[in-house]
Amino acid sequence: MLKESPPAAAEGWPQAGSAAVESGPPVAAAPVPQPGTAAQFSRLRALLEQAGYTAQAVRERTSSALFDDRSGRVVPPSDGPTDAIDALIRLHVHGEAVRRSAITGLLSAELLTLLETLGLLRADPAEPDTVRAPVALYPVAHLQIVSDSLDAVLADRPPPDITYPALSSNTAEFLAALPTDPCERVLDLGAGTGVAALVQASTCARHAWAADITDRATRFAEYNARLNEIENVTVVRGDLYEAVAGLTFDRIVTHPPYMPVPEGSIIFRDGGEDGEQITRRIIAALPDHLRPGGRCYCRCLATDRKEAPLEERVRQMLGAAGAGFDVAVIATVTMAAAEFYGRLLAKGDMTAARYDQQMRTFAALGVENIVICTLAIERHAESRTALTVRRQLAPGMDPDPAAIDWLLRTERTVRETGFLTRLATARPVVSPRAEIRMSYRALSGELRAERCSVATRAPFAFSFDSSPGLALLLGRCDGSRTVAVLRSELNELGAVADGAQPEEFLQLTGNLIRGGVLEIDELPLPPAR
């Protein structure tokens, strides 16, 4: 269940140990723009919308050409801008210098004046007819976000406090996993641009806090809050929870630095020798800051180790209070550490010396797999047995909050005393997303069914192989029969193994429900996304 290449390399961000990171002088970051007036920001958003500068438009035009995977540099457009969207993408996503005469007919004079007035566009001192965006401006969801430019982030040696643009697929997957059901208090830790706090505050949270350790990030987050006229957000500066000492939250969301680097130099990226240094601190303090019934969503890179898989290690990170939390790991990538870093080495994103060093470090720590994942950690609202679960996303699938809810609800339900008794009277239906395959073998001159396999990609990757009787079971799961009746019918057809107890059939049905192959009224599948 693996993607073709590790997302960190494919996105083109600077990689620890690459030649780009190890050479060249530090670059100077552009100043964070000063916020404008509410009227100016309102008009700017309206003009950008009129120009068609939406998240969908940017995604459609940059998804395959924004980065050069080989060099990690922005791919320069080959021709001049063709329309307003193209002009804005060139200026504010690619960071290209554009002649004013080439965009005057594409962007309105009012929009150009506003961009310059607000510090989002300026003339090139060396070429007065040329304009360039000192910072990036781009749509995310329904918002317009300002951050450091891609050029600044991809520089040989970016400033340590550079603010990571909310444009990568990792950020998109982080945001995709966040729920949108109503919530009182949300904390976005390591907020950077503040995009997660702003999305939550503008859609579902009564109030959100955006916390970051750098002054630069907090100024960008404050700018973005004003740009989008979102008032129910508080931007604070501090080292993780230091900025919100004494406060508790119903939802904590975080996309912490997680690249394994022995000596960190870039705040948004570096997570210590194993990449888990910041993640561990966030999880360890959840008992002090997450309210009963609340949930933490953490997008990170972490590791399976010889001592324990990641999900068990997350529970250990919670400390003595761990028994009061459920832990779910939703893995996007699970890959042997040597293969993960071998791909970075082959792509030129890591030096041979850095590869050897990382392999030695991981060997000493007992690291087996690299896991890029979303952690969903829920604090119990009542006394019950703690749940620990892990699922792998199918290739190309994003984390889905509805699927995470379904997973936790299903796993809790199937563990309840009395569930199997209730299951006997349930009427299962096969998911339309399930794929069923039969294997045949030629025996004595005729084809005989030998195996039946079923698989589904949603809500998570699941596969199961069994005898041909599985096809008979699934073919009858149309909602008209109870599980007890299904067993009776299969028993009459000789599809139930001799001596098999009723509980075994119920457990098989329960496993197919947990895998998302079968659906019952008590545990409806999440809607297709």
Residue 270's pLDDT band (cuts 50, 70, 90): low
Half-sphere exposure of 46 (CA within 13 A, CB side): 7
| Model pLDDT, residue 423 | 97
Sign of CA dihedral 190, 195, 201, 205: negative
Are the beta carbons of 58 and 138 closer than 8 angstroms?
Answer: yes
What is the mean pLDDT of the segment spanning 391-420? 95
pLDDT at residue 297 is higher than 90 = yes
Three-class secondary structure of residue 528 per DSSP: coil
DSSP string, 433-455: T-EEEEEEEEETTEEEEEEEEEE
Burial class (CB in 10 A: 0-12, 13-18, 19+), 488: middle
Q: Which helix (H) or strand (E) holds 432?
A: none
Locus of tokens 């931007």? 235
Q: How many helices (H) and strands (E) does the chain have?
A: 21, 18
DSSP string, 33-58: PPP--HHHHHHHHHHHHHTT--HHHH
CA distance from start to end of the chain: 19
For residue 451 the two structure tokens come to 């195996």
Three-class secondary structure of residue 233 per DSSP: strand
Task: Quote the mean pLDDT of the chain.
Answer: 88
- CA–CA dist 308, 319 (Å, integer): 15
Contacts of 86 (CB under 8 A, 6+ apart): 61, 77, 106
Per DSSP bridges, beta strands 462-466 and 446-456 are: antiparallel
Sign of CA dihedral 90, 94, 99, 100: positive
Q: Which of 48, 185, 168, 182 is nearest to 115 (CA)?
A: 48
Domains of the chain, with CATH numbers? 17-24+31-153 (no CATH), 169-399 (3.40.50.150), 421-519 (3.90.930)
- CA 197, distance to chain mean position in Å, is 15
* Of 292-296, 390-394, 400-404, 441-445, minimum mean pLDDT range: 441-445
Are the beta carbons of 369 and 336 closer than 8 angstroms?
Answer: yes
Per DSSP bridges, beta strands 183-189 and 249-254 are: parallel
For residue 256 the two structure tokens come to 């912490």
Residue 247's pLDDT band (cuts 50, 70, 90): very high
Which residues pair with residue 334 across a beta bridge?
A: 371
Are the beta carbons of 276 and 313 closer than 8 angstroms?
Answer: no
Percent of the chain with pLDDT strictly greater than 90: 71
More confident residue, 327 or 449: 327
| Model pLDDT, residue 528 | 84
Contacts of 468 (CB under 8 A, 6+ apart): 438, 449, 450, 451, 452, 495
For residue 311 the two structure tokens come to 């999900």
Are the beta carbons of 344 and 260 closer than 8 angstroms?
Answer: no
Q: What is the pLDDT of residues 63-73, one digit of tens each?
A: 644 444 334 44
Q: What type of residue sits at position 314?
A: V
pTM above 0.85, yes or no: yes
Three-class secondary structure of residue 339 per DSSP: helix
For residue 406 the two structure tokens come to 């379904």
Phi, psi of 364 (to 5 degrees): -65, -30
| Model pLDDT, residue 444 | 82
pLDDT at residue 15 is higher than 90 = no
Q: What is the DSSP letter of 259?
A: B
- CA–CA dist 221, 238 (Å, integer): 14
Residue 7's pLDDT band (cuts 50, 70, 90): very low
Q: What is the pLDDT of residues 38-78, one digit of tens each?
A: 999 999 999 999 999 999 998 888 864 444 433 444 455 55
| Model pLDDT, residue 397 | 92
Given 3-state DSSP classes, what are the helix, strand and coil percentages for the chain, each rounded to the nearest 5?
35, 25, 40
DSSP string, 141-155: TTEEEEE--HHHHTS
- CA–CA dist 274, 318 (Å, integer): 18
- CA 73, distance to chain mean position in Å, is 23
- CA–CA dist 335, 289 (Å, integer): 32
Locus of tokens 């982030």? 153
Q: What is the pLDDT of residues 307-341, one digit of tens each?
A: 999 999 999 999 999 999 999 999 999 999 999 99
Locus of tokens 């994942």? 373
Are the beta carbons of 331 and 397 closer than 8 angstroms?
Answer: no
| Model pLDDT, residue 498 | 74
Are the beta carbons of 518 and 512 closer than 8 angstroms?
Answer: yes
The CA distances from residue 407 to 307, 437, 459, in Å, are: 26, 25, 9
Three-class secondary structure of residue 464 per DSSP: strand
pLDDT at residue 10 is higher than 60 = no
Phi, psi of 336 (to 5 degrees): -55, 140
Phi, psi of 30 (to 5 degrees): -70, 150
- CA–CA dist 114, 130 (Å, integer): 17
More confident residue, 503 or 151: 503
